[in-house]
Amino acid sequence: MRLMIDYRDFVPRQNGFVFKFIKKDNQFIHTYIEGDLLQKLGLTPSMVIGRTVFDFFPQDHARQKERFYVKAWNGETVNYEGSVGDTYYRCSLFPITINSQVVEVNGSAIDITVEKNNEKRIREMEKLSVVGELAAGIAHEIRNPLTSLIGFTKIIKEKITDSSINEYLVIMEDELDRINQIVNEFMFIAKPNETMEIKEANINALVRNVIKFMEPQTNLKSILVNLYFSDKITAFCDPNQIKQVLINIIQNAIEATSESLSIDISLKKLDENQFKIEIRDRGCGISEERLKRLFEPFYTTKEKGTGLGLMVCKRIIEIHNGTIEVKSNPGFGTIFEIVLPIKQKTSKHMIKHQS
Ligand SMILES: Nc1ncnc2c1ncn2[C@@H]1O[C@H](COP(=O)(O)OP(=O)(O)O)[C@@H](O)[C@H]1O
Ligand SMILES: [Mg+2]
C-alpha cells in the first residue's frame, strides 16, 4: 500500500505554505500559493498570485528571493531560509521539467521560528559560558596585584603633602576602584552558583536595606525611592546575591533618571509559591532595539559602563529559578519585574561550597 501524504493536510500542520511560479516575459510570476504561514508573514493569496516578489516584498528582500528563483529556473533544487519580522521560514524550490526544459517551479516553506529562537538562546548561553571561563582566569590573576596597588596608593596618598601629586593619586585611586569593580563583576560571572548560600530571608527588610545603602547616590540627584508592599515576605534565597541584583537594577535606574524624579519599588506575594519585585523608574527608557541586547555581556550605552550589571542579574535570578523581565517606554521610563520562588528546590546549589 502506498502511503499518501496530501500536502493540503501536511502544510497547515507544519505551519507552512506551498506555492508555484512560472517565468513569463522575463519575470517570475506566482501562479498559486496556499498555507497557514502566509497570514503570519502578512500576506494573502491575492497579494501573491499573478504577481512577482517585487510586488509584495521590499526591494532588497525581493532581489535576494529572485536570485533563488533564477537558480531554480536553471534546473537546481534550491533551499534557503528567510525572515519577515520575527517570523523565520525555511523554503525549498523544486523545478518541474518537461523535455529537459523547466516549465514551472514548485515551492514549499515551513515556519522555523521556534527552532531559530532556540538556536539563538543556545548561542547566547555559549557566549556566556565562554565569558565565564575567561572571567575566572583573568579575575583571579588580576585580584592579587590589584590589592597591593590599591593598598600602596592609599599609603602614598597619606604620606605625600605635595598637592599637585596628590591630584594624580586621587585619579589613580578612582581608576583602581573602577578596575576593582570590573574584576569583582567578572569573578561573579565565573561561577555564581558555587558561592551561593541559601538562607531564609526577610525580603521586606532586604529591600529596605538596599534602598538605605543606595541613599548617598539617590540623595545626590534628589531622587526619592518609594517602597510599596502589602505582604510580609520571607523566602529562601542567597540574600547577598539578591541584594546585588537590586543594587545593579537600582543603580541603572538612578543613572537613567533625571534629577528630582522618583523610583518606585513594589513587593508583592503572587501566591503561596512566588513573589514579585518591581522596580519602576521615570528615566530615559530603552528602545525596542536596545531591549533585545540588554542582558548580553558588555552591552552598554554608557561611557564608563561595563555592560555586565544586567547579565549578572540574569545569572543570579536564573540560578534562583526565577525570571526577570523588562518593559520600557522610551522617554517615559522602565520597569524591571523579578519573579522569585519562595522556596528553593533542594539542589546542589543549596550546599554551601567553601572556597
Ligand atoms: N533603567 C534603565 N533605563 C534605561 N536604560 C537602562 C536601564 N537599565 C539598563 N539600561 C541600559 O542597559 C545597558 C546595560 O546595563 P548594565 O548591564 O547594567 O551595564 P552598564 O550599567 O554598565 O551599562 C545600559 O548601558 C543602559 O543602556
Ligand atoms: Mg549597570
CA–centroid distance, 301 to ligand 1, in Å, is 7
CA–centroid distance, 207 to ligand 2, in Å, is 18
In this structure, the residue with its CA closest to atom 19 of ligand 1 is 307
pLDDT in the model for residue 137? 75
All residues with CB under 5 Å from ion ligand 2: 252, 309
Annotate 280-301 with DSSP letters as a single string: EE-SS---HHHHTTTTSTT---
pLDDT in the model for residue 79? 96
Q: How is domain 7-111 classified at the CATH fold level?
A: Beta-Lactamase (3.30.450)
| Domain range list for the chain | 7-111, 117-190, 193-355
CATH superfamily of 193-355: Histidine kinase-like ATPase, C-terminal domain (3.30.565.10)
Measured distance CA(179)–CA(185) in Å, rounded: 10
pLDDT in the model for residue 15? 84
CA–centroid distance, 116 to ligand 2, in Å, is 29
pLDDT in the model for residue 144? 83
pLDDT in the model for residue 354? 37
What are the strands, taking DSSP E only, across the chain? 16-24, 27-34, 78-84, 87-98, 101-111, 199-202, 224-229, 234-237, 262-269, 274-281, 323-329, 333-341
- How do the pLDDT tens digits run along the chain, 355 residues long? 455 556 555 555 568 999 999 999 999 999 999 998 999 899 999 999 999 999 999 999 999 999 999 999 999 999 999 998 889 999 999 999 999 899 999 999 999 998 888 888 777 777 777 777 777 777 778 888 998 999 999 999 999 888 889 889 989 998 898 888 778 777 766 666 666 889 999 999 999 999 998 898 999 999 999 999 988 999 999 998 899 899 999 999 999 999 999 999 999 999 999 999 999 999 999 999 999 999 988 889 998 788 889 988 998 899 899 999 999 999 999 999 999 999 987 554 444 443 3
CA–centroid distance, 325 to ligand 2, in Å, is 16
In this structure, the residue with its CA closest to atom 13 of ligand 1 is 300
**Burial environment of residue 143 by CB neighbours within 10 A (0 to 12, 13 to 18, 19 or more):** middle
pLDDT in the model for residue 5? 56
Measured distance CA(73)–CA(96) in Å, rounded: 9
Pocket test for ligand 1, best of 181, 252, 308 (most atoms within 8 A of CB): 252
pLDDT in the model for residue 10? 59
pLDDT in the model for residue 323? 96
The 10 Å Cβ neighbour count of residue 63 is: 12
